[in-house]
Amino acid sequence: MKHEQKHNPPMKYGMAIDLDKCTGCGACMVACMAENNVSFKKDESNKLDSITWLRVYKLTNDKPYPNTDICYLPRPCQHCEGHGGHSPCVSVCPATATDYSRETGIVSQIYTRCFGCRYCMAACPYHARYFNWWDPVWPDGMEKYLSPNVSPRMRGVVEKCSFCFHRYQLAKNKAYLDGERTVPEAAYQTACTQACPAGAIVFGDLNNPNHQVHQVVKPDPKHGGKSKNPRAFRLLERLGTNPKIYYLSSREWVRRAGDNYLAHEKTGQVSKPHH
């Protein structure tokens, strides 16, 4: 395996979500919860303490009828790279319970090492991290339907989207047995990507020109991974979090809603990071 890693260039798994295609159906959220054994409460009405690794936000342009427009924005963990793996959450975790993989670009969460200080949650501007306020309890019989590949989380630890990392592990093992040097694009896809009926989500290696996500996003490594696609933007790009989720939209107000701008600033303006 060492030999294989030495010769394989690092991957950078990421996602492109076309907001003009997203209908807000929520299939991605459901698929994510089922795939990753995400626990739920009897009453899920309080969204401030329920767990949704992938949450769909409803955005509006705040204009009166007939100019009203809405947009649904699915928000998984953004798997921020920051500068050199200095993600907002990874850098603050005191117990190294979350890590940025230079092999895959995935931000991991080690549940058994997390002691629940929640500093990572304070650091994440996307609210992509969730705390287990309760012990996970599934309705009678449902525990038989849990995925054996994903460990359920205990009360008192933080969890978040892993880009279905267990699927990557399975695909990697299969590729190794098949004698493949790399994991094929189709062999590793996240549950939300496969569940989206509109095909709004594209997932793959942003470093690999053969992957569709690379072709859609056209990331510019010279400018911190900023997309060359004029329809693309990243959430809160100006903070310097360097996320790997790219959103696409032809609507200017949607692209502008992805970041904070002063009144006179153009959409897409990126300031020099301060850190």
Partner 1 sequence: MMDSALIPKGVKRCPMWQFLLGLGIVGAVLAWGVYAMLLCWFKGLNQTNMNDYYGFALWIWADLAIIALGGGAFFSGLLKYIVGKDELKHIINYAVLIGFICYSSALLILAIDIGQPLRGWFIFWHANVHSMLTEVAFCLSCYFSVLTIEYIPLILENRQLDKVPFFHNLSHNMHETMAVFAATGAFLSFFHQGSLGGVAGVLFGRPFAFREGLLIWPWTFFLFTWSAAAYGPCFTLLITWITEKVTRKKLVKDNVVELLAKISGWMIFTYTIAKICDTARWANITVPGLGQTLTDFYTGNALYGYWILFAEIVLCGLVPAIILISAPLRKNPTWRVIALLLGVIGVSLNRWVMVLQVMAVPVMPFDHWALYYPSWQEVATTILPLAYGIMLIMISYRYLPIFPQEAELNPIEEETSAAVEAKTESTPDLEPAEA
Least CB distance to partner 1 at residue 142 (A): 21
User: Which CB atom, from 113 or from 184, has the smaller least distance to partner 1?
Assistant: 113
- Report if residue 257 touches partner 1, rule: CB under 8 A: yes
- Report if residue 32 touches partner 1, rule: CB under 8 A: no
Q: Which of 24, 26, 156, 224: binder of partner 1 (CB under 8 A)?
A: 156
Question: What are the beta bridge partners of residue 59?
Answer: 71
Q: Which of 114, 191, 192, 248: binder of partner 1 (CB under 8 A)?
A: 114
Q: Which of 46, 67, 186, 209: binder of partner 1 (CB under 8 A)?
A: 46
- Beta carbons of 13 and 106 less than 8 angstroms apart: yes
User: Which CB atom, from 241 or from 249, has the smaller least distance to partner 1?
Assistant: 241
- Report if residue 155 touches partner 1, rule: CB under 8 A: yes
Separation between Cα atoms, residue 26 and residue 47, nearest integer Å: 15
Expressed in angstroms, the distance from the first to the final Cα of the chain is 36
Q: What's the number of CA atoms in the CB half-sphere (13 Å) around residue 237?
A: 22
Q: Applying CB under 8 A, what is the total number of residues that bind partner 1?
A: 61
Q: Which residues of 238-247 are buried (b: 16+ CB within 10 A; e: fewer)?
A: bbbbbbbbbb
- Report if residue 152 touches partner 1, rule: CB under 8 A: no
Which runs of E-coded beta strand occur in the chain?
13-18, 55-60, 70-75, 98-100, 107-109, 130-131, 158-159, 201-205, 219-220, 226-227, 232-233, 245-248
| Tokens standing for residue 269 | 């303006």
Residues 228 to 247 in contact with partner 1, rule: CB under 8 A? 235-236, 238-241
Give the interface with partner 1 as residue ranges (CB under 8 A): 46, 48-49, 57, 59, 73, 82, 88, 91-97, 113-119, 121-127, 129-135, 154-158, 235-236, 238-241, 256-262, 265, 269, 271-275
